[in-house]
Amino acid sequence: RALRIAVIPGDGIGQEVMPEGLACLRAAADKFSIDIELDEQFKDWATCERYLRTGTMLPEGWKEILAPYDAIYFGAVGMPSLVPDHVSLWGSLIQFRREFDQYISLRPCRLMPGIACPLANKKVGDIDFWVVRENTEGEYSSIGGKMFPGTDREVVIQETVMSRIGVDRVLKYAFDLAQSRPKKHLTSATKSNGISITMPYWDDRCAEMAKGYQDVSVDKYHIDILTAWFVLRPELFDVVVGSNLFGDILSDLGPACTGSIGVAPSGNINPEGTWPSLFEPVHGSAPDIAGKGIANPVGMIWAGQMMLEHFGHKEAADTMMKAIETALETGGSQVITPDLGGTGTCESLGGHIANLISNL
Amino acid sequence: RALRIAVIPGDGIGQEVMPEGLACLRAAADKFSIDIELDEQFKDWATCERYLRTGTMLPEGWKEILAPYDAIYFGAVGMPSLVPDHVSLWGSLIQFRREFDQYISLRPCRLMPGIACPLANKKVGDIDFWVVRENTEGEYSSIGGKMFPGTDREVVIQETVMSRIGVDRVLKYAFDLAQSRPKKHLTSATKSNGISITMPYWDDRCAEMAKGYQDVSVDKYHIDILTAWFVLRPELFDVVVGSNLFGDILSDLGPACTGSIGVAPSGNINPEGTWPSLFEPVHGSAPDIAGKGIANPVGMIWAGQMMLEHFGHKEAADTMMKAIETALETGGSQVITPDLGGTGTCESLGGHIANLISNL
Ligand SMILES: CC(C)[C@H](C(=O)O)[C@@H](O)C(=O)O
Ligand SMILES: CC(C)[C@H](C(=O)O)[C@@H](O)C(=O)O
């Protein structure tokens, strides 16, 4: 049966990069005869414009409507001048993660040709790892509250909650991923020397899980020094796994260290496929450049690439990746977008990549 | 009256870099007629060797013995092959922080001459900021526990605790520091879009505090993107303030971004002087190079510089800083230690800096 994809462009440049992402997906699907249905009926979902008009980011019944899809291909959300971010985000993206139990957040950290690396003396091939983040529990619980408000005794408490099920399943995903890669190396982010209850538990579960993966080499770093190593020795890493908060930090820092935060993708994954997974660019809605046609479409296209890879279409995914790299390396300044020093447009770069996919 | 300093070299290279730190402090005290007493009776305190011999890192009554001192000049602690880190650290350094209410952790992030910057295209002067970290509460509470152990329902909870007193006093310290600097700029680390109880509280207290500092410009970043900006645009920062965990992360990442993690100092400060403050190098005891005489003494010397500055000896502190910079820039490869590419020793570099302090 067809792969069914719900297409939600969302706010700002989400609307501009989405057509390029779709063109590339269609080019790959044509070339490799992938049966894929890209359902574009969700144009105003997860938009702040919709929120202003109707009072909600998503229509009633959204969960039942989206549930039958295999994945959501998502642009971006947020227009802080119209709607506060916590309203727009918690009313859409965070809902998807929770309700569809997308308990894995997955992000590549890879040096790309044509993109200046902020670290000194690194070249393409030096940095190439994945950050796997727990995406549903941990530090992001909403349990807690305030006592003695407005007085000198005022105290605020928030709980971090880790369940065995929650910790084990993200570790398992990360170990499986590491095992599938040539280096077979896993790094666990911890802070058991300071956060003395949840983090030692995380370490214990990791050690337990490691017993089932004798061929995977494992190390752990405290999060403080781990962020330092991301900058000093990023070539050390292969797969890095962290709690919701640590993974959140590392999956921004990692793409930053490769200069690719503007072009990197992100998967929010429900590995069992019980619910739809979601693939999106890391960049946000970028209201400052929205409407100008100069947004870089690579994040959106790369997110599509991740999506095909996730569903096992390896050849198509490899071709898309090759096309992205070729375009960044040899597209030329008239094709490349201004963020990368060119004079091209979202369309010129997106069209170029789509062409390469068809003709590579 | 004399400034009374308790000298605790501790483990590993702490014992090697301490004599150089003391020589430099003495040179500065002589030159600027500072009345300082460097009490060296604590040679085996906070050592793992002592722990193996007596069962404790510190003797009974340590708090009463150290309390009358103005500051502790501390080397390093930890010999993981002899004693697990959580035992040695929690039995010494962490005790000092808590019992002496050293609620500020202060660390400079500064590009230094002669030290390669891991970021591309940065030069001395481009990066120069402070990280101020809350050092007693927040994410480092020990409150919480485990339920349903050993079953699929297993769940582990740990509480983050922020008090108004605790949050306000660190914010006040950071605002005061920002106000004292030319740029007068403060950056607050938050994560109020994900950690929905304690972090919005932190933001509120920061906004409240800002009202009393109209001349300080304030911004806030979520911790994930803030770590990215440390790498991409470190010149943005002047004073950065964060909770215990966020400050911990940023105060390793910041020195890493300047390549100075091996030479940076750290202050654990009780601003009121009710209890002794503690000044130490950021680097640890480095068991792998201990005993070889090649440890870089700059972190220890710079920690002494911070200590003099903290106690208002500005001229002496400026001279020490100048001496450190001059030595790193023009000391030559026979003086500079191997970590920086030279063939010198701990003594050659330390002696050179002490000389410069006397003769600059
Ligand atoms: C050893 C550890 C508990 C400590 C901390 O996290 O406070 C260390 O990382 C530091 O920053 O001094
Ligand atoms: C917007 C915010 C709640 C979110 C998170 O922290 O999960 C974002 O930083 C992300 O990583 O997608």
Residue A328 CA: distances (Å) to CA of A317, A321, B212: 17, 11, 49
CA of A74 to the centre of ligand 2 (A): 15
Predicted confidence (pLDDT) per residue in A168-202, tens digit:
999 999 999 999 999 999 999 999 988 999 999 99
Within a domain: A207: yes
Q: Which residues from B are below 8 Å from A165, CB to CB?
A: 152
Q: What percentage of chain A exceeds 70 in pLDDT?
A: 100
- Distance CA(B27)–CA(A94), nearest Å, equals 59
Structure tokens at B237: 């920062």
- CB pair distance less than 8 Å for A89 and B165: no
Q: Does A231 touch chain B (CB under 8 A)?
A: yes
Q: Does B351 touch chain A (CB under 8 A)?
A: no
Structure tokens at A289: 């450049």
Q: What percentage of chain B exceeds 70 in pLDDT?
A: 100
User: What are the φ and ψ backbone dihedral angles of B162, each rounded to 5 degrees?
Assistant: -120, 130
Give A360's pLDDT tier (boundaries 50, 70, 90).
Answer: confident
**What is the amino acid identity at position A353?**
I
Predicted confidence (pLDDT) per residue in A198-232, tens digit:
999 999 999 999 999 999 999 999 999 999 999 99
User: For ligand 2, atom 4, which residue shows the shortest CA distance?
Assistant: B194
User: For ligand 1, atom 1, which residue shows the shortest CA distance?
Assistant: A193
- Distance CA(A82)–CA(B222), nearest Å, equals 20
Same domain, A120 and A75: no
Range of the domain at A62: 1-103+270-360
pLDDT at A32: 98
Contact B241, B186 (CB under 8 A): yes
Q: Which residues from B are below 8 Å from A231, CB to CB?
A: 118-119, 231, 253, 256-257
Last residue of a domain, one of A203, A231, A259: A259
Q: Does A224 touch chain B (CB under 8 A)?
A: yes
> What is the number of domains present in chain A?
2
pLDDT at A85: 87
In the DSSP assignment, the letter for residue A119 is B
- Distance CA(A186)–CA(A206), nearest Å, equals 10
Q: Which helix (H) or strand (E) holds A242?
A: strand A239-242
Same domain, A75 and A122: no
| pLDDT beyond 90 at A142 | no
Within a domain: A131: yes
Which residues 6+ apart lie within 8 Å of B55 measured at CB?
Answer: none
- Report the atom number in ligand 1 closest to the C-alpha of A222: 9
Same domain, B22 and B153: no
Minimal-distance CA residue of chain A relative to B202: A156
Same domain, B14 and B76: yes
Same domain, B254 and B115: yes
Last residue of a domain, one of B269, B287, B302: B269
- Report the atom number in ligand 2 closest to the C-alpha of A266: 12
CA atoms within 13 A of residue A307's CA, in its CB half-sphere: 34
Same domain, B261 and B123: yes
Give A86's pLDDT tier (boundaries 50, 70, 90).
Answer: confident
Q: Which of residues 300-329 of B touch A (CB under 8 A)?
A: none
- Report the atom number in ligand 1 closest to the C-alpha of B251: 11
Look up tokens 């005290």; give the residue: B29
Within a domain: A127: yes
Minimal-distance CA residue of chain B relative to A234: B118
Contact B202, B193 (CB under 8 A): no
| B83, B87, B89, B106: residue to mutate for ligand 1 pocket, most atoms within 8 A of CB | B89
Give B11's pLDDT tier (boundaries 50, 70, 90).
Answer: very high
Within a domain: A179: yes
In the DSSP assignment, the letter for residue A12 is T
| pLDDT beyond 90 at B145 | yes
When the pLDDT of each residue in chain A is averaged and rounded to a whole number, the result is 96
Q: Does A232 touch chain B (CB under 8 A)?
A: yes
Q: Does B119 touch chain A (CB under 8 A)?
A: yes
Cβ-in-10-Å burial (0-12, 13-18, 19+) of A88 comes to: buried
Q: Which residues from A are below 8 Å from B252, CB to CB?
A: 224-225, 227-228
CA of A184 to the centre of ligand 2 (A): 28
Contact B327, B320 (CB under 8 A): no
- A120, A165, A251 member nearest B120 (Cβ): A120
Same domain, A205 and A309: no
Question: Which ligand has an atom closest to residue B285 CA?
Answer: 1
pLDDT at B48: 97
CATH code of residue B331: 3.40.718.10
Q: Which helix (H) or strand (E) holds A110?
A: strand A104-110
- Distance CA(B248)–CA(A71), nearest Å, equals 38
Same domain, A2 and A91: yes
Q: Does A191 touch chain B (CB under 8 A)?
A: yes
* Alpha-carbon gap: A69 to the closest alpha carbon of chain B (Å): 27
Q: Does A86 touch chain B (CB under 8 A)?
A: yes
Within a domain: A265: no
pLDDT at B360: 86
Predicted confidence (pLDDT) per residue in B317-335, tens digit:
999 999 999 999 999 999 9
pLDDT at B85: 86
Within a domain: A335: yes
Same domain, A142 and A279: no
* Alpha-carbon gap: B264 to the closest alpha carbon of chain A (Å): 13
pLDDT at B289: 96
Within a domain: A54: yes
Last residue of a domain, one of B213, B240, B269: B269
CA atoms within 13 A of residue B91's CA, in its CB half-sphere: 24
Same domain, B87 and B115: no
Beta-bridge mates of residue B221: B189
Predicted confidence (pLDDT) per residue in B221-245, tens digit:
999 999 999 999 999 999 999 999 9
Q: What percentage of chain B exceeds 90 in pLDDT?
A: 96
Same domain, B86 and B131: no
Same domain, A278 and A202: no
pLDDT at A127: 96
CA of B190 to the centre of ligand 2 (A): 12
- Quote the strand ranges of chain B, DSSP E: 3-10, 36-39, 71-76, 104-110, 128-134, 144-147, 155-163, 185-190, 217-222, 239-242, 265-269, 277-281
Bridging pattern class, strands A144-147 and B144-147: unpaired
Q: Which residues from A are below 8 Å from B146, CB to CB?
A: 197, 201
Q: Does A140 touch chain B (CB under 8 A)?
A: yes
Q: How far is CA A144 from the centre of its chain?
A: 28
Q: Between chain A and chain B, how many beta carbons pairs sit less than 8 Å apart?
A: 181
- Distance CA(A231)–CA(B249), nearest Å, equals 13
In the DSSP assignment, the letter for residue A339 is G
Give A295's pLDDT tier (boundaries 50, 70, 90).
Answer: very high
Q: What single string gives the DSSP state of each residue in B180-243?
A: TSSS-EEEEEE-TTTSTTHHHHHHHHHHHHHTT-TTSEEEEEEHHHHHHHHHH-GGG-SEEEE-
